[in-house]
Amino acid sequence: MNKIPVLYLSSEAYSKILAVSMLSLLDNKEDNTFYEIYVLVEKKYSEQSLKPFRFMEEKYDGFSLHWIEMEDAFSDTKVNVAGVGKETMYRLMAPKMLAGIDRCIYLDSDTLILSDLEEMFEHDIQDNYFSGVYPERFLSNMLSDYKNAYGRQAIKILEKQIGLCTLDQYVGAGVMIMNLKEMRDHGMIEKFLQAVKPNSLPKDQDILNACCYGHIDKMPVKYCVDLHELDDLAWYEENNKEQLADIQKAFKNPVVIHYSDRYKPWKMCGLRYEKYWWSYLSQLGLLMDFWDDFIDSLGGCNSPMATVDPASISAKTYSDAYREFSKGISYRIGRFITFIPRKIYYFFKRKW
């Protein structure tokens, strides 16, 4: 049996998102794979938040689940505008918290796993510290924006903010293969922690890339289909057709989907593979926890990666978006589950 350590981290507020990712991980596991799942949390979740995970423990074999409490670690880290807080910094402590493990796969909670991870785990990163997907379009656009804003000072400003004067190896940290043994053997935890600034916003991805520069592997895009990075395929058509071919292959046979940045299936409709995300949410009995907020935030589905401010769209645009959305599986599931509550609601509404 192939034992594969998998690392997550999450606040309790994000526990339902984590549960969807973990369910997809287990549901697409091969019989000869055993996942040793570790979750770094501030403190133990409430029993209510643990219910989806109890469900998985009853339904699936071939995995173990370990909760590691981080308590006050990184307690002075601020929350950024996207709601990302100290929990993301726990990645820096992974080599210590998983002390007996040589390597692991790290997954952000906003991921969807659509294949067994054995092939990904066996990807040879040699003696590099970690492997991630290189977000070429994002980095190119960011560098261009900095140059337009700051001119000749752009590189110095980037170096001050990120810790690097070049981004040729910079990879995303949302999905990684981590060489924990190499990190421990070369004292990387101490270097990571020395780079943490008190009372700062989360900068763990920058810290990992800056401290590990020269020892970073770029993994195939199919192991992390990042929908934020890949929302503009025209850029790759113009700038890197070879990578575009790899991306198109990855879309047909993805291993991990990363709903990074604003591309969240519970906030936008029309995203790739969203029907799987909503299906797993429904299996966990959590659909109605997201449904009302999702409908409220629904903008438009005129393009696969578009979202529209509901306050700025016309009635026709909204009706077109709603009609397009109503074709999807998430809509049909919601209508089925809410059939009786809706009948009761409209009955009493008419009475009053």
pLDDT in tens, 39-86: 999 999 999 999 999 999 999 999 999 999 999 999 999 998 777 899
Span 184-198, average pLDDT? 96
Q: What percentage of the chain carries pLDDT values higher than 70? A: 84
Residue 116: enclosing H or E segment and its boundaries? none
Residue 131: half-sphere exposure toward Cβ, Cα within 13 Å: 21
Residue pair 11/85 in contact (Cβ under 8 Å)? The answer is: yes
Q: How far apart are CA 190 and CA 251, in angstroms?
A: 38
Summarised one tens digit per residue, pLDDT across range 103-143 is 999 999 999 999 999 999 999 999 999 999 999 999 999 98
pLDDT at residue 327, as a whole number: 54
**Nearest alpha-carbon partner for 104 in 3, 24, 20, 15:** 3
Q: What percentage of the chain carries pLDDT values higher than 90? A: 71
pLDDT at residue 190, as a whole number: 97
Q: How far apart are CA 73 and CA 41, in angstroms?
A: 10
pLDDT at residue 158, as a whole number: 84
**Nearest alpha-carbon partner for 87 in 45, 47, 128:** 45
pTM of the model: 0.84
Residue pair 182/128 in contact (Cβ under 8 Å)? The answer is: yes
pLDDT at residue 314, as a whole number: 35
pLDDT at residue 303, as a whole number: 38
pLDDT at residue 116, as a whole number: 98
**Nearest alpha-carbon partner for 135 in 176, 175, 171:** 171
Residues ≥6 apart with Cβ < 8 Å to 239: 136, 137, 140
pLDDT at residue 348, as a whole number: 46
Summarised one tens digit per residue, pLDDT across range 277-297 is 999 999 999 999 998 888 877
pLDDT at residue 299, as a whole number: 53
Residue pair 112/20 in contact (Cβ under 8 Å)? The answer is: yes
Which tokens in the block code for residue 259? Answer: 């709903």
Q: How far apart are CA 161 and CA 164, in angstroms?
A: 8
208 CB neighbour count, 10 Å cutoff: 25
Residue pair 2/34 in contact (Cβ under 8 Å)? The answer is: yes
Q: How far apart are CA 257 and CA 243, in angstroms?
A: 17
343 by DSSP, 3-state: which?
helix
Pick 269 or 328 by higher pLDDT.
269
Summarised one tens digit per residue, pLDDT across range 307-345 is 433 333 333 333 444 454 455 555 555 565 666 655 554
**Residue 164 φ/ψ, nearest 5 degrees:** -135, 145
User: Residue with structure tokens 């900095």?
Assistant: 146
